[in-house]
Amino acid sequence: MGALELARAPKDGFIIGAATVSTSAANPTINPKTGYDPIKDFTPITNITATPNIIAVNPSFPAKVFKTFLEELKKSRKVFLC
């Protein structure tokens, strides 16, 4: 909700926001109808902090390590990977 309001705000240089990985990557990937495009609607200025993330998958998913996880995603073409 905050990211959507930030995207709608005037592009006047006086408004600033802070985003997490969920705002800039997870939410738009899971729900393409978020109302904003994290690449087109925002300009990154700096990284304030880096936090660890955990990727969990269903036990039946074929990937057991991150490299295989990325390969599976690329094969499915369902996720945009930078």
Interatomic CA distance for residues 28 and 9, integer angstroms: 19
Q: What is the pLDDT of residue 75?
A: 83
| pLDDT > 90 in the chain, percent | 26
Q: Where are the domains of the chain?
A: 2-76
- Cβ neighbours for 75, distance < 8 A, ≥ 6 positions apart: none
How many helices and strands, by DSSP H and E, does the chain display? 4, 0
Average pLDDT across the chain, whole number:
85
Joined tokens for residue 68: 């295989």
Q: Is the pLDDT of residue 79 over 80?
A: no
Residues 49-68: tens digit of each pLDDT: 888 878 888 999 999 998 99
Is residue 82 pLDDT above 70, yes or no? no
